[in-house]
Amino acid sequence: MPRTALILLFLLTGPILARGDDLKASSSDPRLIEQPRADYRARRKELMDRVNKSESSRISFSKDQGGETIVVLRGEDDRGQEDFEEGRFRQKNDFAYLTGLEVPGAWLVLRPRQNRATLYLPSPTRSHMNGQSRHPGPGKDAAEQFGFDAVEPNAKLLGDLFTAIADPMRDGAGTAVVYTMSPSPDPHNTKPDAKFVRFLREGAPNTTFRDLAPVVGEMRKLKSKSELVLLQKAIDITGDANEEVLKIIGPGLFEYQLEGRILGAFLNGGALRPGFQSIVGSGPNSTIPHYFLSSRKMAEGDLVVVDIGAEYNLYTADVTRTYPVNGTFSPRQREIYQLVLDAQTEAANRVKPGSTRLVEMTGIARGYLRKSPLRAKDSDGKEFTMDHFFVHGLSHYLGMDVHDVGDMNKPMQPGEVFTIEPGIYIESENLGVRIEDDYLVTESGLVKLSKNIPSEPDEIEKRIATERARKKHSD
């Protein structure tokens, strides 16, 4: 092949292939965002099954009389990022989960009764994100590549939707049911999803709208094998970032300098962004659970709370460590630290797969902290048991969202991933400690996915000492 042709080929396909060797042309197991294409098809099938089941369980439903059932989901567009104010395109989580597509401006339409999945794409000649993204146009090639029954141009979306919604109405056969995001008719909701639903409501006033979010949420709560690989990778990169922290931590350094090292380690490991705003809070800032300024110079005798998570291919870690800035915990810091660590271990040991619910976790930790003989004073000088200084929830699900979707009131099942993050914040002592790890629920109990990131106080002191000795030696 002549060189110019090769360059042309790269220009046409390069940006699509850039993320993790997606879409290997003739592979039997093509991958989209580092997950098998077959997984996304299976998810769409399961979503359609769930919708069919849910509709058939409704009393008024009859296959012959009812209108069409349709699922409509909007992908992220190329103008604004609703959730992330940055220039780099990031697909919306539900859309990525069901399609594996990072093309801006795409739509997904499912017809559960026909087991049919159609993707709608913008015209390929349109420039996306100032040319950051290229994709094949609608048609057979794209359908084959992305694993859909059909890929249509966006220009056909509304016509197809209204035809599907309205057809049964012409027979007087009943109303259509549309599953979508933000189905509530709240006129003050100006988000694109809500505006779109209002538009559909005006055009098809007899249509019933149902919330798609809880249906997809219950599916996303259970992680597949390929999702767990991505989560583990995000956690391991977060571990690398913690190693960087241990290398440079010390009095005189600014919090933002630690954060800089952390973000550098994320990118270096292939995580294109943090899954959430990093927290690096030292001394008095360690007692503020959501401290985002990173502006203080760390001092001798401080603790520093480092709550960070790399996002790898849309899956995020969430790990917190608390380090002694000078390399050694004071006796008081150590007793509080050990209590927090023990509360975490206790909570993890109490989880019974199939019966414990995520909402119960906070109570377990509170009870444990309350039993401790340790005491501390609040800012008014009043003495309290240690549960008084634990001011947030203990656990949340983890996945594509850092506080991931899924009903927290249901018993935990194998395949779910969640965090355990006890913390004690004593303002009167400028002493805050939080320890957070990520756990996978299995048949036999929990697996700590972040176990390679040291949290034992002796181990932390040893690691900092080793790094300092190494540095001294090289100086």
> Measured from the CB atom, is 318 or 360 closer to Mn ion?
318
Closer CB to Mn ion, residue 143 or residue 420?
A: 420
Residue with CB nearest Mn ion? Answer: 318
Helix (H, G, I), strand (E, B) or coil at 109: strand
Phi, psi dihedral angles at 12 (to 5 degrees) = -75, -35
Complex with Mn ion: residue 402 or 460, whichever CB lies closer = 402
Taking the complex as a whole, how short is the minimal distance between the CB of residue 419 and Mn ion, in angstroms?
A: 5
Q: How far is the CB of 396 from Mn ion (least distance, A)?
A: 6
Instruction: Give the distance from CA 144 to its chain's centroid.
Output: 28
Q: How far is the CB of 229 from Mn ion (least distance, A)?
A: 21
CB of 403 to Mn ion, least distance (A): 7
Q: Where are the alpha helices (DSSP H) in 109-248?
A: 140-146, 157-170, 192-203, 213-221, 225-248
Q: Select from 2, 117, 91 the least CA-distant residue to 315.
A: 91
Q: Which two tokens stand for residue 468?
A: 């300092």
Nearest residue (CB) to Mn ion, 178 versus 241:
241
- Shortest Cβ distance from residue 273 to Mn ion (Å)? 17
Query: Measured from the CB of residue 237, what is the shortest distance to Mn ion in angstroms?
Result: 16
Please state the separation of Cα 196 from the chain's center in Å: 25
Q: Which is nearer to Mn ion, 309 or 324 (CB)?
A: 309
Give whichever of 197 and 402 is closer to Mn ion, judged by the CB atom.
402
The footprint of Mn ion (CB under 5 A) covers 318, 419
- CA 184 vs. chain centroid, Å, equals 24
Minimum distance between the CB of residue 392 and Mn ion, rounded to whole angstroms? 9
Q: 429 — alpha (psi -120 to 50), left (phi > 0) or beta?
A: alpha
Determine the Cα–Cα distance for residues 177 and 156; give it in Å rounded to an integer. Answer: 20
**Helices and strands, counts by H and E, the chain:** 12, 21
Q: Which is nearer to Mn ion, 103 or 441 (CB)?
A: 441
**What stretch of H or E contains 426?**
strand 423-426
